[in-house]
């Protein structure tokens, strides 16, 4: 089991851009649909042009979660189940058609590209990592964050972000498709904030039923809704989130 306190958060999805909208959504959640992208005014236009929708969502919430005047290099954990798979698909299509591939497009397709762009844009020389762990991606990110806190970090920021899969991959989807991003500021469990614990156990069984929300987004709903417990099960693992007074 791991424990931590969520001391701040930010989030973005089509139609959900401020804390009041997100709290209302958590009380009656729905899958956010649409092709909008954040404005990302914090990033200079020349750099912003290179960032596609997935990266804009992730970098926007990371920027919003920076306390004013606070530029401490806290560790960052970027978590996305699929990453920029649309860009990767375009590279594969170029290979099939025997066209030249763009080195820039390749560099921006790797899983840690969004994290690297954020660190360059914000001049952040601290520790960051990017991970993907299937249906348990958010839980794996929180485990990494808890390990960093245990190793002495005062705060860790977890950035979870997803975009809909391209149609060619629709047969492999195991959850509703939506574009969203959120950032949690995590500190040790004794700090003021929403104290959360997470435990897990392996389970073997049939494929879990399709959830009502993307799994990463459902974790954010749990944080905002004030529920005491939230269980997230996949075909391999059973994750249990708990909120403590």
199-232 pLDDT tens trace:
999 886 666 677 899 999 999 999 999 999 999 8
> 33 with 218: CB under 8 angstroms?
no
Residue 155 has pLDDT above 90, yes or no: yes
- The mean of the pLDDT values for the chain is 90
Which domains does the chain show, CATH number per domain?
2-244 (3.40.47.10)
pLDDT grade for 6, boundaries at 50, 70 and 90:
very high
Residue 184 has, within 13 A of its CA and on its CB side, a CA count of 29
Q: What is the pTM of this model?
A: 0.92
Q: Which of 223, 168, 233 is nearest to 202 (CA)?
A: 233
Residue 80 has pLDDT above 70, yes or no: yes
Alpha helices in 9-158 (DSSP H): 19-27, 45-48, 53-64, 85-96, 103-109, 113-122, 137-150
pLDDT digits (tens, 9 = 90+) for 10-54: 999 999 999 999 999 999 999 999 999 999 999 988 888 888 899
Mean pLDDT throughout 70-93?
83
Mean pLDDT throughout 88-94?
76
């Amino acid at each position: 089991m791991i424990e931590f306190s969520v001391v701040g958060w930010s989030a973005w999805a089509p139609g959900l851009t401020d804390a009041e909208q997100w709290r209302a959504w958590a009380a009656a959640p729905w899958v956010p649909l649409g092709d909008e992208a954040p404005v990302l005014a914090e990033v200079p236009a020349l750099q912003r042009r290179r960032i596609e929708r997935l990266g804009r969502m992730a970098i926007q919430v990371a920027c919003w979660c920076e306390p004013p005047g606070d530029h401490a290099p806290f560790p960052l954990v970027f978590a996305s189940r699929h990453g920029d798979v649309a860009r990767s698909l375009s590279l594969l299509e170029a290979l099939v058609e025997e066209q030249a591939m763009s080195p820039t497009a390749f560099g921006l397709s790797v899983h840690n590209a969004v994290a690297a762009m954020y660190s360059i844009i914000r001049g952040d020389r601290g520790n960051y990592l990017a991970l993907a762990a299937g249906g348990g991606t958010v839980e794996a990110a929180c485990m990494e964050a808890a390990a960093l806190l245990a190793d002495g970090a005062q705060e860790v920021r977890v950035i979870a972000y997803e975009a809909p899969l391209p149609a060619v991959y629709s047969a492999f989807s195991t959850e509703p498709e939506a574009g969203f991003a959120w950032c949690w500021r995590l500190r040790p469990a004794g700090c003021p904030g929403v104290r959360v614990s997470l435990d897990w156990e392996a389970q073997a069984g049939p494929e879990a039923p399709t959830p009502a929300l993307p799994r990463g987004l459902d974790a954010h709903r749990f944080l905002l809704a004030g529920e005491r417990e939230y269980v997230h099960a996949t075909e391999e693992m059973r994750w249990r989130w708990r909120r403590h007074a």
